[in-house]
Structure 1
């Protein structure tokens, strides 16, 4: 039976700390963010391909990792983070406190209570999943690493579990956290969430 193994890693902490970046704010990784990512992958280097979001908080590490172990890296624009509209660039406190009613509505129904100008959640999930399906088809029976964002990983976990998009923000994704999904002839299995890898 052919198996395709997908590791997903969320970027480490960017410069500027916790805030809504979406795909409109492209901060680089902080020193802490770099160390979170190197610590998460450890000495693991068995991937045949690395695929990364185009945003620099993902792409810089993907290329550094690829260079270290001579693994090919490709950029997939559809793996960029969800667009947060008016919330882009705001800190979590600015939204939680300054836009309390908006924030509470979003938590209760992130599908229909989007920030003004935000990317529709169903469109985002479809965008991400179309890129993921293409990657699985192209790299069938390989072990690949996708360097991406919390939203991207939530969307793929929800698809794997056949869970509705309304529950996406109930999945915690840590900076530098690794998720593993194994695809077999009978479907996909979530094997690891917010983990670290070892060689």
Structure 2
């Protein structure tokens, strides 16, 4: 008789980077002092994880490395968990883009699937690499409790996948700095049954 195995994955967004709020994408800005404080306060001394997996960008990986070292938890980097590439919008604020061409930004907000920023990664390509990383985690670490340190876009994509939302609705999910969401996946034979336990909560 087959037994059910449950995998728990906590998704954590990085704190505020140097330079504040903007379409940062894959620019490798480090955490600001506020960002470090946000992430340390969100976790405190709580460390129930069997392992930590992080985006390779420094605003995620540096905190993940500190946390792993402090608690003796194995850690690895996965570049597939990086934020979506925003192309020519990277480093720009929404206010700057609105002042330059408000219609382009409005079209992206209303229909991001068909209005990719110039030179940016498409939502379909972003979905494929993030969900490939997600499935790899479930296959490699079934039955374990993981912390995945990443980005707002990455978290939206995973949660959209778990909740079976349409791809173009993912930006309706708000993810705060240092926000944490928990997903549990029950594995039974060849089937997997994911569920969102909480979103943007504290541990």
- TM-score (structure 1 length as normaliser): 0.96
* Residues in 2 aligned to 1:146 and 1:97: alpha-carbon distance in whole angstroms: 36
Pairs within 5 Å for 1:48-67? 48-67=50-69
How much is the aligned-residue C-alpha RMSD, in angstroms? 0.9
Shift of 1:133: 0.5
Q: Rg larger in 1 or in 2? A: 2
Counting matched residue pairs gives: 196
In structure 2, stretches of 5+ residues that fail to align are none
Shift of 1:44: 1.4
Query: Of 148, 151, 155, which residue of structure 2 is paired with 1:149?
Result: 151
1:18 equivalent to 2:24? Answer no
Task: Tell me what 1:7 maps to.
Answer: 10
Q: Which runs of 4+ in 1 moved over 4 A?
A: none
* Residues in 2 aligned to 1:169 and 1:97: alpha-carbon distance in whole angstroms: 22
Query: Of 92, 102, 105, which residue of structure 2 is paired with 1:103?
Result: 105
Task: Tell me what 2:116 maps to.
Answer: 114
Task: Tell me what 2:202 maps to.
Answer: 196
In structure 1, stretches of 5+ residues that fail to align are none
Query: Of 160, 170, 173, which residue of structure 2 is paired with 1:171?
Result: 173
- TM-score (structure 2 length as normaliser): 0.94
* Residues in 2 aligned to 1:125 and 1:48: alpha-carbon distance in whole angstroms: 26
Shift of 1:97: 2.9
Query: Of 187, 191, 197, which residue of structure 1 is paired with 2:193?
Result: 187
